[in-house]
Amino acid sequence: MNEVLRAAMTARGLTVDSLAEQTGVDRKTVGRWLSPGRVPHARTRARAAAVLGLEVGELWPNTGRRRDPLWFVPWAQAEREAISLRSFEPLVVPGLLQTEAYARAVLTDAGLFSRDAVEQRVRTRMDRQAILVGNKPPQFTAVLDEGVLRRPVGSPQVMRDQVQAIITACNEPHIRVHVVPSTAGAYAGLNGAFVLAAGPGGRFTGYLDTQLDGQVVDSADKMEALQAAWESVRGEALPHRQSINLMTEVAGTWTT
């Protein structure tokens, strides 16, 4: 048993049910945390540690370092140091907002990875989401094409939970999501997904997705082009509240 976790829960007067409620997971998940060797994803570890008033390392020491592909390392650093992140996705939910079930379905259905590779990538993706939790998370603004919300990934339950998770994430003051409605027609975003990270000292880094890997860019001309692309797609998107209303409507269409 994870005695440190159990003792911390006792000291705070928390039960499995109450800790589950405060960390946004189900009681069975918290029960598994109490077993030796069971470690939550990084984002959930951060939430649990905050609730319990301890450091993550005190509750789950030696969780191991994430092994990123070499091409991804510069972006992972830029993402961790970012003051703000601006993400556009025409095809799938941005990785920082994906549920575990959605991420697993996307990676599995792509047909490019073995089962073990899928699980490793899911773990990495979930761990990255920890940057949106903490005392100083970056301002995260995402623009999605409406088709992202309506494209079936996994089961209807997976899609309903995913759309609802985005809506819930928008309750955080540092997270905003805007949707480009299907009525927009052709627009600059159809050229592909990208993310812009603004770091300390006004440094900008961009990330472009491809079929096999990603491309990290930081040259002035490419940053200028991505800034212009962002302004274009953001201009096509609905305001935040209207986007929430649209997502709520779409979530209701995903029925079993």
pLDDT tens digits for range 220-238 = 999 999 999 999 999 999 9
pLDDT for 230: 95
pLDDT for 151: 95
pLDDT for 37: 58
Higher pLDDT, 76 or 229: 229
Confidence of residue 4 (pLDDT cuts 50, 70, 90): confident
* Number of other residues whose CB lies within 10 A of the CB of residue 214: 16
Least confident of 39-43, 134-138, 213-217: 39-43
Residue 47: what are its φ and ψ, rounded to 5°? -65, -45
Buried b (16+ CB within 10 A) or exposed e, 59-95: bbeeeeeeeeeeebebbbebbeebeebbbbbbebbbb
Q: Is pLDDT above 70 for 36?
A: no
Alpha-carbon distance of 143 to 74, in angstroms, equals: 23
Q: Is pLDDT above 90 for 167?
A: yes
Residues 83-103: tens digit of each pLDDT: 999 999 999 999 999 999 999
The tokens for 157 are 């339950």
Q: Is pLDDT above 90 for 109?
A: no
pLDDT for 1: 65
Higher pLDDT, 172 or 133: 172
Q: Is pLDDT above 60 for 65?
A: no
Q: Tell me the pLDDT of the chain averaged across its residues.
A: 88
Q: Is pLDDT above 80 for 180?
A: yes
Query: Which residues, 6 or more positions from 78, have their beta carbon under 8 angstroms from its beta carbon?
Result: 197, 199, 205, 207, 216
